[in-house]
Amino acid sequence: MITLGHYLLVSGVLFSIGFAGVMLRRNLIIILMSLELMLNAANLSLVAFSRFRVDSNGLLNYNAQVFVFFIITVAAAEVAVGLAILVALFRARQTTDVKDISALKF
Amino acid sequence: MSPLLFWLFASLTVIFGAAVVINRNPVASALSLVVSFLGLAALFMSLDAYFVGIIQVLVYAGAVMVLFLFIVMLLNLQAEERRRINWVATAGGAGVAIILLVQIALTIGRFDAARKTFPPLSESTTDDVRNIGATLFRNYNLPFQIIGVLVLVATIGVVLLSKRESR
């Protein structure tokens, strides 16, 4: 049988993949995609917990799903702003590589 | 949901999620991300979260992915040239991610509720979208309005950022 732990483990694996993408890749677009993967991994565990804890009358508890709705909205806004910053950066420097953007590096 | 379908969609999500990180071509990464999100939407629906699954397909596989592909096209990005990989840095980054994964797995292993199956649902008289809407507008009305302001600010910010400054 599929338990809560299975969904949480899939969520954890997906989060780790996104984290590895942020650590390993140098292309800013790929880093933004990895951030999306991490946000979605969090969404998956929220929905799994929402399904796991049903109300006393046997109906779903929708609080976590509303939270997921908020996360999706914020993530969409974040992607739009991030990509706009990326385009502005590309106009100024003609690069999307994090290795070439080191003016603030200590 | 049958275990077979769970394993199918879970492996689809994880394999294509890994392909996002592994692919060197940004277009291939973006398309892998679409498949990964579609698998995730199927997992949401297996958890009886139909509305969340639908907006996952609409917002992520639709809008966000079009945005990514559009930017890749606009910037005319090529696949990264195969430069010498710094093996120490790569091993360090992968090591930290693997340590995180092991930590998550150990925490889930010690979590008693993780070994329980999902409780059965009784038949609801109202549909999923109506229930979410009721929760959203009754209990979370103020956060909903704040998120509207956030989206407005993000829209204005994006227009300002992408405007060419005239000198």
The answer on B54 and B1 residing in a single domain is yes
**Domain ranges (residues) in chain A:** 4-100
- Mark whether B9 and B61 lie in a shared domain: yes
Confidence category of residue A105, pLDDT binned at 50, 70, 90: confident
DSSP A79-95: HHHHHHHHHHHHHHHS-
Which DSSP symbol is given to B115? G
Query: Is B159 inside any structural domain?
Result: yes
Domain containing B155 equals 127-167
Q: pLDDT tens across A16-60, in order? A: 999 999 998 888 899 999 999 999 999 999 999 999 988 888 788
Task: Say if residues B3 and A6 touch (Cβ distance below 8 Å).
Answer: no
Task: Provide DSSP, B129-146.
Answer: HHHHHHHHHHTSHHHHHH
Whether residue B35 is contained in a domain is answered as yes
Å between A28 CA and nearest CA of chain B: 10
Rg of chain A (C-alpha set): 18
The model's pTM is 0.91
pLDDT tens, B33-91? Answer: 999 999 999 999 999 889 999 999 999 888 888 999 988 888 877 666 666 777 888 89
- B105 domain residue, yes or no: yes
What tokens appear for A18 in the block?
Answer: 């996104």
Size of interface A-B (CB pairs under 8 A): 226
**B62 lies in a domain?**
yes
Structure tokens at A71: 């996360």
Contact criterion met (CB < 8 Å) for A77 and B98: no
- Side chain identity, residue B165: E
Q: Within this chain, do residues B17 and B60 fall inside the same structural domain, yes or no?
A: yes
Domain-located, residue B120: no
Residue B110 sits in the same domain as residue B133: no
Domain A4-100 indexed as CATH 2.60.40.2550: no
Give the CA angle between residues A71, A27, A78 to the nearest 5°: 20
Find out whether A22 and B23 touch, Cβ atoms under 8 Å: no
The answer to whether residue B122 is domain-embedded is no
Give me the residues paired with residue A95 across strands. none
Tokens at B77, concatenated: 């990005």
Which of A1, A21, A73 shows the shortest C-beta gap to B21? A21
- Which chain B residues touch A25 with a CB distance below 8 Å? 21
Counting the structural domains of chain B, the total is 3
